[in-house]
Structure 1
Amino acid sequence: MLSDHQISPRTPSRRLLLVAAGMSLLGAAGCGTPWNDADDAGAGAAARPPGAAPEASGPGSGPEAAQAAAPSEAPPQAATAPPTPAAAPPPMPARRRLTEEEAKPVNQLDPNQRVVGLTIDDGPDPRYTPAVLALLQQYGIRATFFLVGECAVENTGLVREIADHGHYIGNHTWTHPDLRHMSDEAVRDELERTSDLLYRTTGRQPSWFRAPGGDWSPVALRVTTELGMRPMGWTVDPEDWATPGTSVITERILKNVRPGSIVLNHDGGGDRSQTVAALKAYLPVLVDQGYSFSAPSN
C-alpha cells in the first residue's frame, strides 16, 4: 500500500521533452487495432461497385442454373419473440471528496520497504499489452495500468483481461490532453467519461489518476479531488516513450530504482517493443535483488 506520508516533490514535466522532440505521447499509431481490414480484401472485391453481386464463374452459373436453384416459394417464417434487452449496469456510486493530504500527488511507496510500484501508461494496446501481461504473470507481479479512455473503449476485452489478472486500473483521461490549458468542465469530462467506461467494463471504480505527461494543473487537481481519485506520479522515468533503445531503458531503471520507487513504463501510444524487451530484461534482475511489487488498491 502507498504511504500517505511518503510524498516526494513533483517530478519534472515530460511534456516539455515531448514538445522538444516534436512528438505526441499518443503518437501516430492511435489506439485502435493496428491492422487495416481493407488490406485483406481481394482485388476483385475492391473493383466491384457497392451493392453489386459477386460475379459467377464455372459450369452451371448461367441464368438457367440460378432459376433452378431458387426455391419455388419462401418457407413460412416462424414467429419469434423480440430479444430481451440487456440489463443496464448500475450507476457508478458517488466517491467521497478527498482530504487535502490525499489530494497531493504521490510519487513513491514506502521507502522503508524493498518494494517497487510498477506502472504502465497509455494503453491498452492490442500489440503490446498482451505481452506485458504475459511477463507480469510469469514473474507473479501486480502492476497499475493507467488507461486512456479512447484506447480502452476500443479494447474492452483487454481492459477486462487486465482486471482479471489482478492488476490495478487507473484513470489516464479520455484523449491524453495537456490538462494545463483546459477548463474545469473539459477536465471533468475527460476524467468522468473515462471512469464511467472503466466502471462499466470492470465493475470497479478507478481510485487513482495520473495526468498525461505528469502535467498537474490546479484545475486538474481540484477536479480529481472532487471525483475522489488520488493523483499518482512516479519516481523513475526511463523515457521509454522516446524509444531510446532497450538497453538504455533497462539501464536507467536498474540504476535509479530504490526501495519505494514508482517506475513509469508505457504499453501504448506508439511502438513499445523496446519497453516490452526492457521489461523482460530488468524484471528478473529486480526480483533477484529481493524487490517485491505492490500497487494501490482500487
Structure 2
Amino acid sequence: MARHDGRRGWYGKVIGAALGVTLLAAGASMWTAQAGSAGSAPRRATASATPDGAAAPVDVTIAHASDRGPRGVNITIDDGPDPVWTPQVLDLLREYGVKATFCMVGTQARAYPDLVKQVVAAGHRLCDHTVSHDTAMDRKSEAYQSREILDAERMITEASGGVRPAYYRAPGGAFTPYSRELAASRGMRPLGWNVDTEDWELPGADAIVATVERELSNGPTLLFHDAGGERSQTVEALRRVLPWLKERGYSFGFPVR
C-alpha cells in the first residue's frame, strides 16, 4: 500500500515508501490482491479479559473486501468533514443511492459536529482517521499511537451524538501491529484500500476517473478525499464514477475482511 498524504500542503510531505505487508483475501471473492494494495496477514490478538476470565480475541486483519460480494465496491472518503466539500459529496451519494465510509480526522469532527451527524443520519459509516493525520505515526511510540487513535475515536463519537467509528484507517497506511490491535480491541476494523485515486494530487477529474477504471480490478475499496484542500476535482470525478459503476452492475457496500 503506497503511502499518501491526503492533505498535501496541510499535513506536509508525501511519504512514498510502500508498506511491506501481505494481503490475504478472505472468503470467496473475485478480487485479486495486487502489490501496493493495503493489507496484512491475519493474526489474532488478545483483548481485555471477558467476564469469565477468558481472553477475548480480536481480529486485526485489514479489511478490503465488500459486504456486497464479488460485484460490490466500497466508497471511502478521507480527511473530513469539511464545510465546503463534505456537503457536496453527501449530495452526490444521496443522488445515486450510495452509502460510503467517511474516515474522519478527530479535529475536523470536533470542529464540524453537524456534518458528522449528517453523515450518520444519511446511513454512512464512520472511521477513525486519527487526531492529526500523522503519516509517520508508525515510527512513533505506542503511547503516541494510542493518543492519536483513542482521542480521535472520542472526538468523532462525541461529534456524532454517540455513534462510534466502525473502522480505523491509519494515515498514509502507517499501520503497526499495535495500532491494529488497539483499534480492533475498540471494535474498529482496520481499514485499507485497493484503489488510491490520488485525488489529493489534484491530477484533474479525468485522471481520477481513469485511475478508478484502470485499477478497479485491484479490489473493491476506493479511496477519495473530501478535505485537506480544494476538492472540486474529487466531486466531479465522483459525479462520473458513481453512475459508471452502477451501469456496470456494481453495488455499493461497506468494507469487510
TM-score, normalized by length of structure 1? 0.66
**Structure 1 segment 246-257 matched on structure 2, within 5 A:** 246-257=205-216
Residue type of the alignment partner of 2:133? H
Aligned twin of 2:111: 154
Structure 1 Cα separation of the partners of residues 231 and 177 of structure 2: 31
| Gaps in structure 1 of 5+ consecutive residues | 1-11, 16-23, 31-93
Pick aligned residue for 2:189 from 227, 230, 247: 230
Structure 2 Cα separation of the partners of residues 199 and 239 of structure 1: 28
- Given the superposition, is the C-alpha separation of residues 114 and 227 from structure 1 closer, same or farther in structure 2, using an over 3 Å criterion? same
Pick aligned residue for 1:188 from 126, 140, 146: 146
Aligned twin of 1:99: 57
Q: In the alignment, is the contact (CA less than 8 A) between 2:100 and 2:253 conserved in 1?
A: yes
| Gaps in structure 2 of 5+ consecutive residues | 12-47
Secondary structure in structure 1 of the residue aligned to 2:144:
helix
Q: In the alignment, is the contact (CA less than 8 A) between 1:184 and 1:223 conserved in 2?
A: no
Aligned twin of 1:14: 3
Structure 1 Cα separation of the partners of residues 56 and 61 of structure 2: 10
Aligned twin of 1:281: 240
Residue by residue over 1:242-287, the C-alpha shift from the partner in whole angstroms, topping out at 9 and shown as x without a partner, is: 1111100001102222496100001111111111110011111111
Query: Is 1:210 the equivalent of 2:169?
Result: yes
Secondary structure in structure 2 of the residue aligned to 1:99:
strand
Secondary structure in structure 2 of the residue aligned to 1:206:
coil
Deviating above 6 A after TM superposition, structure 1's stretches of 4 or more consecutive aligned residues are 94-98
Larger Rg: 1
Aligned twin of 2:36: none
RMSD (Å), alpha carbons: 2.4
Aligned twin of 1:199: 157
Residue type of the alignment partner of 2:192? G
Give the fraction of aligned pairs with identical amino acids, expressed as a percent.
36
Residue type of the alignment partner of 1:140? G
Residue type of the alignment partner of 1:13? A
Q: In the alignment, is the contact (CA less than 8 A) between 1:146 and 1:172 conserved in 2?
A: yes
Q: CA deviation at 1:98?
A: 7.1
Residue type of the alignment partner of 1:26? R
Q: In the alignment, is the contact (CA less than 8 A) between 2:133 and 2:171 conserved in 1?
A: yes
Structure 2 Cα separation of the partners of residues 157 and 224 of structure 1: 25
Q: In the alignment, is the contact (CA less than 8 A) between 2:131 and 2:149 conserved in 1?
A: yes
Structure 2 Cα separation of the partners of residues 170 and 95 of structure 1: 25
Aligned twin of 1:270: 229
Please say which of residues 253-262 and 126-135 is displaced more in the overlay: 253-262
Structure 1 Cα separation of the partners of residues 167 and 49 of structure 2: 12
Structure 2 Cα separation of the partners of residues 98 and 271 of structure 1: 44
Residue by residue over 1:137-181, the C-alpha shift from the partner in whole angstroms, topping out at 9 and shown as x without a partner, is: 000000000000011111111111111111101100011012212
Aligned twin of 1:220: 179
Residue type of the alignment partner of 1:142? K
Aligned residues: 214
